């Protein structure tokens, strides 16, 4: 809204007539003006009064004003207001930088284009897209329960300012109901993300890394028979809790292509066949190489992969038992140096190629880990030997020592007799373990591939392990407190959506700032705060300004390396009354 005047000449004199009008957008990008109120002729004081009233009602009106302290009189003809600087107050400090960076990553992946048609506002006015953004940013920056987001996190961040919304985004009902609307779009989302990563980073999808992990629940069984929460082998060392298994496919750069939530008692070797079909159905047939750890494929599935037309290429680790069986064949084969520090032995067999690879770096790493464990166990056993405790107490402490050093425990022969604790090193077992450190027996149907490339592809399995670490560490996917199975899967879906932002930032850093981790950058940006500045004017109104703090030198360097520019500061507002604080518990920091 604004004031508009019309000059009419009457009886030889010019008369100025005023109206309150507003702009209305019409078809074909036209803008028409609608007269809201006819004021007639008004004097200058009345004009200024109407301008102040319009500014108070229509907060979007913008006008260039000069500010003067209350002890100085502005010059005549200057459009200015006087403010009481002695009563300036700083209100509601809240985290801004991390939220802004997360929404920038969201925009780079064009997720608004994907979700806007799939999550339209409800008839009651709930902004489901804004709720999903809030859930995703929360999972990326400071993960926790939805209840904690509602009670604590939202008011302490600038999400409402960045999304031009209010606390309705964090109402507990909206948070939980938004989860119910997500799962049906999982496949389409990964189609969208793979295309965006191909556009942004020229991502390749020829090599796929496949592995499984588990995540546990803080909930009590029993559950319905068809429920996925089951007891099973726990990678989190929480066999006392029910769990689900998560199967994940990523590229060597960490980009996820697909995931599936499976029952907690699912064994690794029963999952591969379904995933092969799912990837083929979703992305079509292509020359892909599946890289997996031992224990995932079975002989039957590998035979099916070789029998496909065209054959499905694979590279897998083999169980230790197969290395024992093939040791005699490998002894007679010469070592071939494929690159500095890596040598291999090759055995072609039944349309497959077995590759025994030895890495000097891996030898040093695994040997150091084994020595550290053995030294710790040996020191602990000497302490137990000197303790005057009962046999039962001794056995309990030995069990704890075995859990702390499981690999080293197999290298020591331990006996508990009436005379006390006796132990000695099993030198034959130690020699066998030492000989196999840093050696891996790989199996592939890529018989014409360079052995150096095969070794390089296999060690890229650390990418999927890193994805699991990020999901469980930075994004805190565990433990899960939801009770409904569909909400559990939606919780994991949001975690993967946050991981998509995480891996996008990681790839940006890999290109422009190698050596930095996404978590370190997010923590630096989260130090940028937003404040509400409130200053009373001499005419009884209030000047309100939302301002984010200026970046320090380190933050400026990060922004420059990531090719990001901060947005303009929000425009100030002049109102008749104080703006009510959205968080009653916040304290004023008066200057």
When pLDDT is cut at 50, 70 and 90, the band that residue 322 belongs to is confident
Mean pLDDT of 467-489: 84
Answer with the residue of higher pLDDT: 309 or 135.
135
The answer to whether the beta carbons of residues 92 and 582 sit under 8 Å apart is: yes
Q: How far is CA 572 from the centre of its chain?
A: 34
Task: Give the integer Cα–Cα distance in Å for 327 and 257.
Answer: 37
When pLDDT is cut at 50, 70 and 90, the band that residue 474 belongs to is confident
What residues contact 591, with CB distance under 8 A and at least 6 apart?
Answer: 88, 89, 90
Mean pLDDT of 10-33: 75
Average pLDDT score over the chain: 85
165-200 pLDDT, tens digit each: 999 999 989 999 999 999 999 999 999 999 999 999
pLDDT at 520 over 60: yes
91-132 pLDDT, tens digit each: 999 999 999 999 999 999 999 999 999 999 988 889 999 999
Task: Give the integer Cα–Cα distance in Å for 297 and 320.
Answer: 15
3-state helix, strand, coil split of the chain in percent (to 5) is 45, 25, 35
Mean pLDDT of 140-155: 92
The answer to whether the beta carbons of residues 61 and 20 sit under 8 Å apart is: no
pLDDT at 46 over 50: yes
Q: What is the pLDDT of residue 27?
A: 60
Q: What is the pLDDT of residue 441?
A: 87
Q: What is the pLDDT of residue 583?
A: 42
When pLDDT is cut at 50, 70 and 90, the band that residue 585 belongs to is very low
51-86 pLDDT, tens digit each: 766 765 555 445 666 677 777 777 776 767 777 888
- Which two structure tokens, joined as six digits, stand for 451? 């052995």
Mean pLDDT of 364-368: 90
Answer with the residue of higher pLDDT: 108 or 35.
108
pLDDT at 151 over 80: yes
443-471 pLDDT, tens digit each: 899 888 888 888 888 888 888 888 888 88
**Residue 431 vs residues 172, 342, 367, 425: alpha-carbon distances, Å:** 60, 21, 12, 11
201-218 pLDDT, tens digit each: 999 998 899 999 998 887
Q: What is the pLDDT of residue 58?
A: 56
Helix axis angle for 128-141 and 97-108, nearest 10°, is 120
**Residue 188 vs residues 83, 111, 185, 306: alpha-carbon distances, Å:** 54, 12, 5, 30
**Residue 589 vs residues 156, 189, 394, 531, 569: alpha-carbon distances, Å:** 15, 44, 59, 10, 20
Q: Give the ranges where 235-326 is alpha helix by DSSP (H).
A: 272-283, 299-307, 320-325
């Amino acid at each position: 809204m604004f004031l508009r005047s019309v000059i009419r000449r009457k009886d030889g004199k010019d008369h100025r007539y005023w109206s309150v009008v507003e702009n209305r957008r019409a078809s074909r990008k036209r803008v028409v003006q609608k007269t809201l109120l006819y004021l007639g002729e008004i004097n200058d004081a009345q004009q200024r009064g109407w301008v102040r009233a319009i500014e108070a009602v229509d907060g979007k009106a913008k006008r260039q004003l000069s500010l003067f302290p209350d002890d100085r009189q502005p010059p005549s003809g200057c459009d200015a207001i006087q403010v009481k600087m002695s009563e300036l107050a700083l209100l509601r400090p809240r985290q801004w930088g991390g939220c802004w960076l997360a929404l920038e990553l969201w925009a780079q992946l064009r997720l608004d284009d994907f979700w806007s048609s799939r999550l339209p506002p409800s008839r009651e006015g709930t902004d489901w897209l804004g709720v999903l953004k809030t859930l995703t940013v929360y999972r990326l920056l400071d993960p926790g329960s939805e209840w904690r987001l509602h009670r604590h996190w939202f008011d302490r961040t600038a999400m409402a300012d960045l999304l031009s919304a209010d606390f309705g985004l964090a109402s507990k009902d909206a948070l939980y109901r938004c989860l119910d609307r997500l799962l049906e779009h999982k496949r389409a989302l990964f189609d969208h993300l793979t295309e965006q990563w191909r556009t942004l980073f020229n991502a390749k999808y020829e090599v796929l890394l496949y592995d499984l992990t588990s995540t546990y629940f803080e909930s009590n069984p029993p559950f319905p028979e068809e429920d996925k929460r089951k007891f099973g082998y726990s990678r989190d060392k929480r066999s006392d809790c029910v769990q689900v298994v998560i199967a994940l496919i990523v590229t060597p750069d960490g980009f996820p292509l697909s995931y599936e939530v499976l029952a907690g008692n699912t064994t690794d070797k029963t999952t591969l066949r379904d995933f092969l079909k799912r990837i083929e159905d979703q992305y079509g047939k292509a020359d892909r190489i599946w890289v997996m750890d031992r224990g995932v494929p079975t002989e039957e599935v590998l035979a099916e992969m070789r029998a496909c037309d065209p054959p499905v290429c694979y590279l897998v680790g083999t169980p230790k038992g197969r290395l024992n069986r093939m040791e005699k064949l490998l002894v007679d084969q010469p070592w071939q140096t494929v690159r500095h520090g890596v040598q291999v032995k090759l055995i072609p067999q039944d349309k497959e190629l077995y590759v025994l690879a030895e890495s000097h770096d891996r030898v040093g790493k695994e040997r150091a880990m084994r020595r550290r464990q053995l030294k710790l166990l040996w020191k602990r056993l000497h302490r137990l030997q000197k303790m005057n405790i009962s046999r039962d107490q001794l056995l309990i402490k030995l069990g704890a020592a075995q859990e702390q050093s499981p690999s080293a425990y197999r290298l020591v022969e331990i006996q508990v007799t009436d005379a006390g604790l006796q132990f000695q090193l099993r030198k034959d077992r130690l020699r066998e373990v030492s000989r196999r450190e840093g050696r891996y027996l790989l199996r592939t149907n890529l018989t014409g591939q360079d052995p150096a490339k095969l070794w390089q592809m296999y060690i890229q399995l650390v990418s999927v392990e890193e994805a699991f670490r990020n999901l469980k560490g930075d994004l805190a996917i565990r433990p899960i407190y939801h009770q409904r199975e569909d909400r559990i899967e939606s919780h994991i879906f949001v975690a993967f959506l946050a991981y998509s932002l995480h891996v996008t930032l990681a790839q940006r850093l890999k290109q422009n700032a190698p050596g930095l981790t996404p978590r370190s950058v997010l923590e630096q940006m989260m130090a940028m705060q937003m404040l509400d500045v409130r200053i009373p004017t001499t005419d009884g109104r209030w000047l309100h300004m939302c301002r984010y703090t200026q970046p320090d030198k380190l933050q400026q360097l990060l922004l420059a390396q990531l090719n990001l520019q901060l947005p303009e500061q929000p425009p100030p507002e002049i109102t008749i009354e104080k703006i009510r604080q959205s968080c009653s518990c916040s304290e004023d920091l008066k200057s």
